[in-house]
Amino acid sequence: MNVLSALGEALVLIGTFFYFLSALGLIRMPDVYNRMQTSTKSATLGSLGVMVGVGLWAVGDGLSWSWFTKSVVIALFLLLTNPISAHALIRAAYKSGIPLWQGSVVDKYREHLEAKEKAETEASKEGGEE
């Protein structure tokens, strides 16, 4: 037991706690958008903690430093790709017409889409008259 493995174990513990929060958020939140909020954030930080923690833990237990560098590279890839997948999922959910929770207060995106559609139809109408 040395400092590195103790630090690694602590990071893995914190990471699993955030995993738990992410799963709990999936149960407690009312609609798909809020579920994406909780699950993306907590799962990303949880994975980051677990991966870096595992790397440090392995080094502390006498394995080579390559464990640490590999786990850091994997954590970086995850950090860069996870928000993109969340964005793709939430956008697809909106495009396929899943409604917001009834407690939602504003929806500027709907207004934007409607304004855009209106502008397009007007443009095509003017084009037809010419």
User: Out of 6, 13, 28, 122, which residue is the one contacting another protein (CB under 8 A)?
Assistant: 28
Q: Which helix (H) or strand (E) holds 105?
A: none
Q: How far apart are CA 74 and CA 50, in angstroms?
A: 11
Cβ of 47: how many Cβ atoms within 10 Å? 19
Alpha-carbon Rg of the chain, whole angstroms?
Answer: 22
Stretch touching another protein by CB under 8 A, among 4-12, 107-115, 120-128: 107-115
Ramachandran category for residue 84: left, alpha or beta (phi over 0 → left; psi -120 to 50 → alpha)? alpha
Among 112, 117, 121, 123, binds another protein (CB under 8 A): 112
- Name which position in 108, 127, 128, 129 contacts another protein (CB under 8 A): 108
Considering only 5-13, 106-114, 122-130, which stretch makes contact with another protein by CB under 8 A? Answer: 106-114
Residues 19, 49: contact at Cβ < 8 Å?
Answer: no
87 in contact with another protein (CB under 8 A): yes
In whole angstroms, how far apart are CA 41 and each of 1, 4, 5, 72, 92?
32, 26, 26, 18, 19
Which of the residues 52 through 81 are near another protein (CB under 8 A)? Answer: 64-66, 69-70, 72-73, 79-80
What residues line the site for another protein (CB under 8 A)? 18, 21, 24-25, 28-31, 33-34, 36-38, 40-42, 44-45, 64-66, 69-70, 72-73, 79-80, 83-84, 86-87, 90-91, 94, 100-101, 103-110, 112
